[in-house]
Amino acid sequence: MSFYRYQFCDLVTDRPIAELDLGGVRFDRRICQAGAFSGSVPVTSPEVADKVAKVAGRRDNDLTSGPGRTVVHVWRGDRIWGTYLIWSAEPKADAQGRVTVDLNGASLESYLHHREIRSDTSFAGVDQLRIARTLVQRMEASRPIGLVPADARNSGVTRDAVYLASEALTYGDALEDLSSHEEGPEWMVRTVVRGGERIREFVVAQRLGSTQTEHVFTQPGNVLGWSYPADATDTATSWQARGDAPETDPEEEAEQVLSRIWADPRFAENGWPLLDRTVDAPGVTDRDTLDDHARWWARRSSGAVRFPQVTVRLDEQSTFTPDHLGDRARLTLVNDWFPLVNGRPTFSNSWRVIGVEITPATRGQGQDTATLIFEEPTDTAPGTEGTD
């Protein structure tokens, strides 16, 4: 059984506050978005209560502790598998008077969605990775939390971007918007230990992970369960992006700018119905940029989208950790749904891992499990221009 410990620290200074024995822990990490954290601690004595109060707080007038200012570092052995900002804490008691405190939070990416761009910021012909790093550096200019760029690489893709203070856009929103462009970058926040010090790194790249690394999961073997859903609920076969109205004479009513309509003709060729979607791009008034958004959606979410998931056992020396998001994993399944044919598996695919949900081992469950969320490569064309 792997050894986990949960170290609670101050968000701003990273000063240690307490270590708690948590139960029912679940946490996840994802590319370009925040992952969730949950766990609970039984309060078995006044001494334990005092310790937990340093993390959860006890009263409204206690400004020295509590949610919104405390992080938890999840250690697996000698490595940090995630840092999560505690956003809520709930002390409660059952009918027998047993007190527990539930803690819930989200990874450090969530902090970026709680900081607004409060001065007009613009970029013209700037590499998109530099835009992302500059946004984080400007956020850190006031009341920093120690978030530093991992490197200074460029992608070769330049963009124009304007962020107005009047839009009250968060830095997280701006980064998500940057990633939603065709060929947009991927990013995440990770905590690494170097020279005995914890460092919070903002990592941004054209594509995260290593194309040379392939983690192997098999059934029979270390695969505990799998699912392969196909979902057309929020997809379409015809995409359009809608921006804001351009600035005009105040007496004239300007209409919102729309992109061209983008679609992959293969869906019509294969008998698909016409399914229309319009996606909003707040703050955008340039039609070429809106076309870029629409093409991105046409490539990523046309038809029935498949997001395979697999739950695996994580061994002590597992090659895969949450910091390996973006790496490839080969999944080979042999079962009644995917039987052997001529002695060979009918299902053996390699995908990028874009998310992981981890359940640490407990006394009732003596093994760490992880649900891997894959990105299935699509050979859908970036979109064929339709009509205006």
Q: Is the pLDDT of residue 323 over 60?
A: yes
At a CB cut-off of 8 Å and minimum separation 6, what does 244 contact? 256, 257, 282, 283, 284, 285
Distance, in Å, from the CA atom of 317 to the CA atom of 297, rounded to the nearest integer, reads 38
Highest mean pLDDT among 22-26, 251-255, 384-388: 22-26
Instruction: For residues 127 and 173, state if they share a domain.
Output: yes
Query: Which CATH number belongs to the domain containing residue 222 in this structure?
Result: 2.30.300.10
Helical axes 171-179 vs 128-140, angle rounded to 10°: 170
Averaged over 339-368, what is the pLDDT? 86
Instruction: Tell me what the pLDDT averaged over the chain comes to.
Output: 90
Q: What is the pLDDT of residue 380?
A: 46
Answer whether residue 386 is part of any domain. Answer: no
- CA 384 to mean position of chain CA atoms: 29
Q: Which residue in 356, 311, 327 sits closest to 29, CA to CA?
A: 356
* Structural domain contains residue 338: yes
pLDDT digits (tens, 9 = 90+) for 273-298: 999 999 998 888 889 989 988 988 88
Report which listed range, 73-82, 176-185, 368-377, is most confident.
73-82
Task: Verify that 8 and 103 share a domain, yes or no.
Answer: yes
326 compared with 252, residue with greater pLDDT: 326
Predicted confidence at residue 356, as pLDDT, reads 94
pLDDT score at 116:
96
DSSP annotation string for 68-81:
TSEEEEEEETTEEE
Q: Are residues 219 and 357 in the same domain?
A: yes
The amino acid sitting at 303 is G
Domain count across the chain: 4
Supply the pLDDT for residue 376: 64
Q: Are 289 and 274 in a shared domain?
A: yes
CA pair distance 77, 195, nearest whole angstrom: 16
This prediction's pTM: 0.82
Q: Do residues 368 and 219 share a domain?
A: yes
**Domain range spanning residue 248?**
234-293
